Chain A
Amino acid sequence: MDEYFHSVRLIKSRCKGCVSCTKRCPTEAIRIRGGKAHIIESRCIDCGECIRHCPRHAKTAVTDYLADLDQYKVNIALPAPTLYAQFSVDFSIETILHGLLELGFDEVFEVAQGAEIVSLMVKDCLNAKEVKRPAISPACPAVVRLIQVKFPELIDYLMQIDAPVELAAKLARAKYSQKYNIHADELGVWFITPCPAKMTACKQPLGREKSNITGAIAISQIYGSLLKVLPHVNEQANYNRASWVGIGWAVAGGETSAAQVENKLVVYGINHVSRLLEQVAMGNLDDIDYIETLACAGGCIGGPLTVENRFVAETRMKQRMQKLKDEYQVAGKSPLTDYHKDELGINERQAIEPRPLMLLDEDIFKAMDKVELIEKILESLPGLDCGSCGSPNCKALAEDIAQGRASETDCVFKLRERVRDLAQEMIDLTKKMPPPLEKELEELEKE
Chain B
Amino acid sequence: MNTGQVINLEYELTALNFDVAGEASSKTKRVLQQIGVRTDVIRCIAISAYEAEMNVIIHSLGGIMRVVVFPDRTEITFEDRGPGIADINLAMQEGYSTAPDYVREMGFGAGMGLPNMARCADQFDIQSEVGVGTKVMMMIRH
Question: How many B residues face the partner with a CB closer than 8 A?
Answer: 28
Query: In the complex, which range does the number of interface residues on chain A fall in?
Result: 20 to 34
Q: What are the interface flags for A281-299 relative to B under an 8 Å C-beta threshold, 1 for contact and 0 otherwise? A: 1111001000000000000
Total inter-chain residue pairs, C-beta < 8 Å: 71
Note all chain A residues with C-beta closer than 8 A to B34: 358-360, 367, 370-371
Instruction: Specify which of A278, A282, A364 is in contact with B36 (CB 8 Å cutoff).
Output: A364
Q: What CA separation (Å) do A414 and B121 show in the bound complex? A: 43
Of the listed stretches B42-50, B94-102, B122-130, B133-141, name the one at the interface; the rest are far from the partner chain.
B42-50
Of the listed stretches B24-32, B56-64, B77-85, name the one at the interface; the rest are far from the partner chain.
B24-32
Interface residue ranges of A261-296 to B (CB < 8 Å) = 278-279, 281-284, 287
Instruction: Specify which of A153, A287, A367, A371 is in contact with B42 (CB 8 Å cutoff).
Output: A153
Note all chain A residues with C-beta closer than 8 A to B89: none
- In the complex, the answer to whether B40 meets A153 with C-beta atoms within 8 Å is yes
Q: Check if B39 is an interface residue, CB within 8 A of chain A.
A: yes
Q: Check if B69 is an interface residue, CB within 8 A of chain A.
A: yes
Note all chain B residues with C-beta closer than 8 A to A180: none
Q: What CA separation (Å) do A284 and B25 show in the bound complex? A: 12
Q: What are the interface flags for A358-370 relative to B under an 8 Å C-beta threshold, 1 for contact and 0 otherwise? A: 1111101101111
- Residue ID in chain A nearest B6 by CB atoms: A368
- In the complex, the answer to whether A371 meets B31 with C-beta atoms within 8 Å is yes
Q: Check if B115 is an interface residue, CB within 8 A of chain A.
A: no
- Residue ID in chain A nearest B39 by CB atoms: A153
Report the minimum CB–CB distance from A169 to chain B (whole Å): 31
Note all chain A residues with C-beta closer than 8 A to B7: 368, 371-372
Q: Check if B1 is an interface residue, CB within 8 A of chain A.
A: yes
Q: What CA separation (Å) do A360 and B36 show in the bound complex? A: 8
- In the complex, the answer to whether A368 meets B69 with C-beta atoms within 8 Å is yes
Report the minimum CB–CB distance from A3 to chain B (whole Å): 20
Note all chain A residues with C-beta closer than 8 A to B20: none
Note all chain B residues with C-beta closer than 8 A to A364: 35-36, 71
Note all chain A residues with C-beta closer than 8 A to B6: 368
Q: Check if A205 is an interface residue, CB within 8 A of chain B.
A: no
Note all chain A residues with C-beta closer than 8 A to B35: 359-361, 364, 367-368, 371
Q: Check if B33 is an interface residue, CB within 8 A of chain A.
A: yes
Q: What CA separation (Å) do A364 and B69 show in the bound complex? A: 11
Note all chain B residues with C-beta closer than 8 A to A369: 5
Q: What CA separation (Å) do A282 and B71 show in the bound complex? A: 22
Q: Check if A152 is an interface residue, CB within 8 A of chain B.
A: yes
Q: A282-B22, A365-B5 are in contact. Are A153 and B30 (CB under 8 A)?
A: no
Q: Check if A207 is an interface residue, CB within 8 A of chain B.
A: no
Q: What CA separation (Å) do A360 and B92 show in the bound complex? A: 38
- Residue ID in chain A nearest B30 by CB atoms: A358
Note all chain B residues with C-beta closer than 8 A to A372: 7
Q: What are the interface flags for A231-273 relative to B under an 8 Å C-beta threshold, 1 for contact and 0 otherwise? A: 0000000000000000000000000000000000000000000
Q: Check if A356 is an interface residue, CB within 8 A of chain B.
A: yes
Instruction: Specify which of B1, B30, B42, B51 is in contact with A365 (CB 8 Å cutoff).
Output: B1
Q: What CA separation (Å) do A278 and B47 show in the bound complex? A: 11
Note all chain B residues with C-beta closer than 8 A to A354: 39
- In the complex, the answer to whether B26 meets A282 with C-beta atoms within 8 Å is yes
Note all chain B residues with C-beta closer than 8 A to A365: 1-3, 5, 71
Q: What CA separation (Å) do A283 and B51 show in the bound complex? A: 9
- In the complex, the answer to whether B50 meets A283 with C-beta atoms within 8 Å is yes
Report the minimum CB–CB distance from B83 to chain A (whole Å): 24
List residues of chain A with CB under 8 Å of any chain B CB.
152-153, 155, 278-279, 281-284, 287, 354, 356, 358-362, 364-365, 367-372
Can you list 6 A-B pairs, Cβ within 8 angstroms, ordered by A? Answer: A152-B33, A153-B43, A358-B33, A359-B36, A368-B7, A368-B69
